[in-house]
A and B are shown apart, each in its own frame.
Chain A
Amino acid sequence: MNLATYFMEATYLIASVLFVLALKGMSHPETARRGMFLAEGGMFAAIVGTLVGQHIVTWVWIIAGLSVGSIIGAWMAIWVPMTAMPQRTALSHAFGALAAALVGVGEFLVHAQDMGVVTRGALGFEVILGALTTTGSLIAAGKLQGVIYGKPMQFRGQSVVNLAIFLAMIGCFVFFWIHPEAQSVFYSMLGIAFVFGVMLVIPIGSADMPVVMSLLNSYAGLAAAATGFVLGNNVLIIAGTLDGFSGLILSILMCKAMNRSITNVLFGGFGAVIAEATSNAGGVMREISLDDAAMQLAFANRVVFVPGYGLATAQAQHAVRELAELLESRGVTVKYAIHPVAGRMPGHMNVLLAEANVPYSSLYEMEQINPEFPSTDVAVVIGANDVVNPDARDNPKSIIAGMPILEVDRAKSVIVLKRGQGRGFSGLENPLFFKACTSMLYGDAKSSLSHLAQAVQHV
């Protein structure tokens, strides 16, 4: 090894350590930002190390790629609104996975003949995971952005078709493993993996996106780790594995928060076939006027806001904070209850509320806030539905039975902000809306909240 190679390996080691420290910093909001600077430093070091240590002969493509990528990346970082964070993250997963897949194809082009059995296996994994994550993430991003219809897309024999595609993919993988010279098989595997990614995500509804996002995050990381095995590069293995496990842990947490298994999320097509499985909910929904709602809020002691995806679609995060501040200035104690799967990705609501300057000390997790609902005067549900559906707790026949919920129905009174009388995204009837303590305030969440704030001022 010459000096440049030693330098490169040293930067890789430094990068690996910095990545771990960065994730350690994520354990608290105070240290998280400093941690990210470490990770950025690590990434920079690894890039410089690579450019020094590898025998770079053509700079044109590198400089072009780095500049184009930086411009697009910076544009995304600066201009994407916080409400579009799930789409952006999904898109980013697609980009990262595509890079891994392309590196795999490049390695195949150049080194296929002199690869060992293990390296070929890793290459297969890399290309398959990279390709299916690319298309899967693009579909997820499309659904989240509303470009693609968000409801689960299902057809007869879907699982048979998927299984056939999966087996074909694995077949190509095994054949390529044994016969590395079979180029057409390798490219078929790549193509089938792209198709499989699409098939994997189209049957999943938007409400299940937190799990899908986490899984795709995990796949993208594992693809990078497989790249590390192909190139014999430890920093790729470490960084990829950290990402892979982070995604895996998040998907498990999200599944727990919905009381469902990963297989059920992936193959259940939740939200499509539940029309007859609804509850004994019935009766009348009681509508409330703005002034009455404002009166209730203004004279309450404790108010809990429960945000859901509706808050994000209505971009109502600033409006809710203004109302909350107004109430606080009147001596009302205001808290926010965040369900783990509220929104479209893990932690979605926290980010939106943080954007609106809500201090993170008033954001409460489900386990913390649930015991407080009985002593809460008014719970305000903003565009949330399934996560406050008491059927999950009370009706064992419900499709969401056993899912842990925010027990807003235990509060003294509940005001539900809802766009209209229709059912929520999952199509599930929510008995909460028919309870005696519940009143409905229809309309766009943002304008309802700002009108409420005005009304509270005049109380």
Chain B
Amino acid sequence: MNPAVLIASVYVFALAAFLGYQVISRVPPLLHTPLMSATNAISGISLIGSLVLAGAKGYPLFAHILGFVAVTTATINVVGGFGITDRMLKMFGKRKSETKAAAQ
């Protein structure tokens, strides 16, 4: 990694950390479980690194196999994480719309 790229990456890291702190401090305790499973699903972004390992040019078969395992686990993380987060958030929204409908 050349120095310019490294410095840019450190900037990205620092700004993302700051942004993350700002955004996540505003999440109410009510939603902490969905928050955790959502950020967990988002960190399944290592899937894109796994995809490269599993299929890109210039990697040996053993790397492809490692990549296959990584793609599988990262996909479980992404699909499972988003799926269950949505299931939870649906429950938090549900009651409100019901009462609204009843009021009308």
Which A residues contact B (CB, under 8 angstroms)?
A: 15, 19-20, 22-24, 26-30, 32-33, 36, 39-40, 43, 46-47, 49-51, 54-62, 64-66, 68-70, 72-74, 76-78, 80, 82, 85, 88-89, 92-93, 95-96, 98-100, 102-103, 105-107, 109-110, 116, 118-119, 213-214, 217, 220-221, 223-225, 227-229, 231-247, 249-250, 253, 338, 340, 345-348, 350-351, 354-355, 357-360, 363, 365
Contacts and interface: CB of A to CB of B under 8 A. Distances in A.
Given A51-B51, A92-B37, 5 more contacts: A65-B68, A92-B41, A229-B13, A242-B39, A249-B25
Prevailing SS type, chain B contact patch:
helix
A32 B34 contact: yes
A43 B74 CA distance: 12
Given A74-B80, A92-B37, A102-B50, A65 B20 contact: no
Contacts of B59: 106, 109-110
Contact of B39 (A23, A64, A231, A340): A23
Contact of B9 (A46, A92, A234): A234
A99 B39 contact: no
Given A57-B56, A240-B45, A351-B33, A65 B75 contact: yes
Contact of B84 (A57, A80, A348, A359): A80
CB-CB nearest 4 A-B residue pairs: A69-B75, A77-B83, A65-B71, A73-B79
Contacts, number: 372
B92 A22 contact: no
Given A69-B71, A242-B20, A250-B36, A36 B86 contact: yes
Interface of B: 1-2, 5-6, 9, 12-13, 16-17, 19-21, 23-60, 62-96, 99
Contacts of A358: 95
Contact of B70 (A102, A246, A250): A102
Prevailing SS type, chain A contact patch:
helix
21 contacts: A23-B42, A30-B96, A62-B67, A65-B50, A65-B69, A72-B80, A76-B83, A77-B79, A78-B87, A95-B76, A102-B73, A109-B59, A110-B58, A221-B39, A224-B43, A236-B49, A237-B12, A239-B43, A245-B21, A345-B32, A363-B30
Nearest to A65: B71
Contacts of B78: 43, 69, 73
Nearest to A101: B70
